[in-house]
């Protein structure tokens, strides 16, 4: 079905100020959406209260409103402009909540403005924890035992029935705001009060915690003909219990069996189709029991999310751009793949590289702040690295954090003994990945660390590989360093300065000159979404040593 020609102008709602726990990924999506719609000759009106964004640049939209994100501002824009449709899926939870509020007040109906990319029923179902639970039960999806509470007393009654640990999840909040774990009776009252206060509906879900289970996220797109594609499967290195925005994540999923992956795909598609009859993007989260591969649904977001922005960059597939075109009526097979420009957008990207995302925190600026990671997102941004292997991508990401880390090394900074490290890594903190490496360097076993952290052993064996290479490097001087070992170190993401620190008595320049003399130089590989099956017209590249 071609585009809906009755849509001549569209209002895009932004996500408001950049705050801790909500980085600027929605600016990336909003900018893509504005460009995508203007390509179709549609007039774009944009509202965002934050002027420090690319989407509010006058070049991006036909008209930009720097106004507070509230119903009064929306009504002002609708009276001043003839707007046919509103696209609220590019501004995160902020935009969805505002869209829902305007709908309840009859604003969209009053000004004859349609909702595209999502419908209010889908927002309601996805964000209202009880409605989501009921829908999952109806379609046969397993969920953790849970119940909705609108008061502290209700929450306490249910907590007594299912026991601890529990998760408190407020309805209609972003970045896990107001949520948290409860391990004992003493913490329950405070956690319930905090969650109820954070929720605009004064409603929380009290849920049995599946701590230690693995966490996965799938990015989906659907068109009006009910075609669904899975753009990316992201695996959290950290187990359940840490907000996705605070987790180190990897794409494609590394430790997923093919049978579990196929089951996850089928269930994600079923969940998206059951949510309503809208065209656009969607993000589904699952928890998986590492022992039995049992799956439970955690949540579904009928919008472009921070993970969608990551998946876009990771795969080269412009999710927000395509989602905008689907929202105005196109089907996936009618759109061109932006990278190859010969195949259609109705395909699933294939990756021949590994993506690692590491969040960036700024706890040093907030003295006395709690630096333990949990359900409420605390990061202020993130870095993403591309490599030929997990070890290379992880070390590249760590080098980019601007916190004095050289790859996965924080050289000369760890003074803890192995027994202290084992205790330290039991609690998720911003530097846990570095401390895991320190523990492995001191001879702590992968099995011990897996039990302490709940992190899959595959990831820990990869970090062990980095440690083994480091120990090998420390045995040599720059003069005696074997060519093969230097080549292997570069393939696994070791930087020149990192190698010089490990070997001591040599400089970064000496390492650089040595590898240049040996012909160990960067090559550039292509991100083309299809593993070179078709020629790419607009690819981007990453450097590696091969």
**From CA 498, how far away is CA 133, in angstroms rounded?**
49
Q: What is the pLDDT of residue 423?
A: 93
Residues 193 and 219 placed together within one structural domain of the fold:
no
**From CA 516, how far away is CA 513, in angstroms rounded?**
5
Residues 445 and 489 placed together within one structural domain of the fold:
yes
Task: Write phi, then psi, for 373 (nearest 5 degrees).
Answer: -90, 145
Q: What is the pLDDT of residue 381?
A: 82
CATH number at residue 187: 3.30.1490.20
Residues 463 and 481 placed together within one structural domain of the fold:
yes
Q: What is the pLDDT of residue 267?
A: 95
Per DSSP, the three-state class of 539 is: coil
Residues 422 and 311 placed together within one structural domain of the fold:
no
Residues 435 and 417 placed together within one structural domain of the fold:
yes
- Of the three residues 95, 116, 137, the one that is the final residue of a domain is 116
Per DSSP, the three-state class of 106 is: coil
Which residue in this structure is represented by tokens 């990924």?
25
**From CA 426, how far away is CA 444, in angstroms rounded?**
14
Q: What is the pLDDT of residue 21?
A: 61
Domain-located, residue 71: yes
Query: DSSP letter string over 367-396?
Result: TT---B--SS---SEEEEEEESSHHHHHHH
Which residue in this structure is represented by tokens 């004095």?
404
Domain that holds residue 175: 145-208
**From CA 433, how far away is CA 496, in angstroms rounded?**
21
Here the tokens at position 528 are 């083309």
Domain-located, residue 535: no
249-251/354-360 β-pairing: antiparallel
- Is the torsion defined by CA of 426, 164, 154, 244 positive or negative? positive
Q: What is the pLDDT of residue 539?
A: 72
Which residues partner with 428 through β-bridges? none
pLDDT along the chain (546 residues), means of 10: 81 82 70 90 91 84 91 93 91 86 92 90 83 91 84 81 82 70 80 85 82 92 91 93 89 92 95 88 92 91 81 85 90 74 75 91 79 83 92 94 83 75 92 93 94 95 96 92 94 93 89 93 81 60 89
Here the tokens at position 99 are 């869209």
Q: What is the pLDDT of residue 1?
A: 53
If one counts the domains in the chain, the total is 4
Domain-located, residue 513: yes
Which residues partner with 222 through β-bridges? 228, 280
Q: What is the pLDDT of residue 529?
A: 65
249-251/228-236 β-pairing: antiparallel
Peptide bond into 252 cis (omega under 30): yes
CATH number at residue 299: 3.30.470.20
Residues 85 and 36 placed together within one structural domain of the fold:
yes
Q: 13 near 99, Cβ under 8 Å?
A: yes
Residues 219 and 322 placed together within one structural domain of the fold:
yes
Residues 218 and 204 placed together within one structural domain of the fold:
no
Residue 482 burial class via C-beta count within 10 angstroms: exposed 0-12, middle 13-18, buried 19 and up: exposed
Residues 238 and 184 placed together within one structural domain of the fold:
no
Which residues partner with 63 through β-bridges? 45
- Going by C-alpha positions, the residue among 418, 419, 384 that lies closest to residue 401 is 384
Which residue in this structure is represented by tokens 């799938």?
218
- Of the three residues 327, 349, 371, the one that is the final residue of a domain is 349
Question: What's the DSSP call for residue 201?
Answer: T
Residues 177 and 244 placed together within one structural domain of the fold:
no
Residues with Cβ within 8 Å of residue 32, at least 6 apart in sequence? 312, 318, 320, 321, 324
Here the tokens at position 131 are 């409605």
- Going by C-alpha positions, the residue among 514, 516, 463 that lies closest to residue 493 is 463
Residues 432 and 449 placed together within one structural domain of the fold:
yes
Q: Is 375 left (phi over 0), alpha (psi -120 to 50) or beta?
A: alpha
CA 173-10-68 angle, 5° bins: 45
Q: 49 near 66, Cβ under 8 Å?
A: yes
């Amino acid at each position: 079905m071609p585009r809906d020609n009755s849509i001549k102008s569209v209002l895009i709602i932004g996500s408001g100020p950049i705050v801790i726990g909500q980085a600027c990924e929605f600016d990336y999506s909003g900018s893509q959406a504005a460009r995508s719609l203007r390509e179709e000759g549609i007039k774009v009106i944009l509202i965002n209260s934050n002027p420090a964004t690319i989407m509010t640049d006058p070049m991006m939209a036909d008209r930009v409103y720097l106004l507070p994100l509230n119903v009064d501002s929306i009504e002002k824009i609708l009276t001043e402009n003839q707007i046919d449709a509103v696209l609220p899926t590019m501004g995160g939870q902020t935009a969805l909540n505002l869209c829902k509020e305007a709908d309840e007040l009859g604003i969209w109906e009053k000004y004859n403005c349609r909702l595209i990319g999502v419908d209010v029923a889908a927002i309601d179902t996805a964000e209202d924890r009880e409605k989501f639970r009921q829908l999952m039960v109806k379609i046969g999806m397993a969920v953790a035992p849970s119940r909705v509470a609108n008061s502290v007393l209700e929450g306490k009654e249910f907590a007594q029935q299912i026991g601890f640990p529990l998760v408190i999840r407020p309805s209609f909040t972003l970045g896990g705001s107001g949520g948290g774990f409860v391990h004992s009776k003493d913490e329950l009252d405070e956690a319930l009060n905090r969650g109820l206060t954070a929720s605009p509906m004064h409603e929380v879900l009290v849920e049995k915690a599946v701590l230690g289970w693995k966490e996965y996220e799938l990015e989906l797109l659907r068109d009006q003909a009910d075609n669904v594609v899975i753009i990316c499967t992201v695996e959290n290195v950290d187990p359940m219990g840490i907000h996705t925005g605070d987790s180190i994540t990897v794409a494609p999923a590394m430790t997923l069996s093919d049978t579990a992956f196929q089951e996850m795909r089928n269930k994600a598609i079923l969940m998206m189709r059951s949510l309503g009859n809208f065209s656009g993007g969607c993000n589904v989260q699952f928890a998986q029991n590492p022992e039995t591969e049992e799956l439970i649904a955690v949540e579904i977001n009928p919008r472009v999310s921070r993970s969608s922005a990551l998946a876009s960059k990771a795969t080269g597939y412009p999710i927000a751009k395509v989602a905008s075109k689907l929202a105005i009526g196109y089907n996936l097979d009618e759109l061109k793949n932006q990278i190859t420009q010969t195949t259609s957008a109705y395909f699933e990207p294939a990756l021949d590289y590994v993506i690692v995302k590491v969040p960036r925190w700024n706890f040093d600026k907030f003295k006395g702040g709690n630096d333990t990671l949990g359900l409420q997102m605390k990061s202020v941004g993130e870095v993403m690295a591309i490599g030929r292997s997990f070890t290379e991508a992880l070390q590249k990401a760590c080098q980019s954090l601007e916190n004095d880390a050289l790859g996965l090394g924080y050289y000369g900074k760890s003074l803890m003994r192995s027994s202290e490290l084992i205790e330290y890594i039991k609690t998720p903190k911003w530097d846990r990945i570095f401390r895991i490496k320190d523990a492995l360097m001191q001879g702590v076993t992968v099995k011990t660390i897996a039990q302490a952290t709940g992190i899959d052993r595959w990831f820990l064996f990869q970090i062990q590989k980095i440690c083994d290479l480091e120990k090998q490097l420390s045995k040599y001087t720059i003069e005696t360093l074997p060519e093969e070992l230097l080549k292997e170190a570069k393939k696994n993401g070791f930087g020149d300065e990192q190698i010089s620190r490990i070997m001591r008595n040599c400089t970064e320049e000496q390492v650089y000159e040595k590898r240049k003399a040996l012909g160990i130089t960067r090559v550039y590989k292509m991100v083309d979404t299809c593993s070179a099956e078709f020629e790419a017209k607009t690819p981007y590249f990453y450097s590696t040593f091969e």
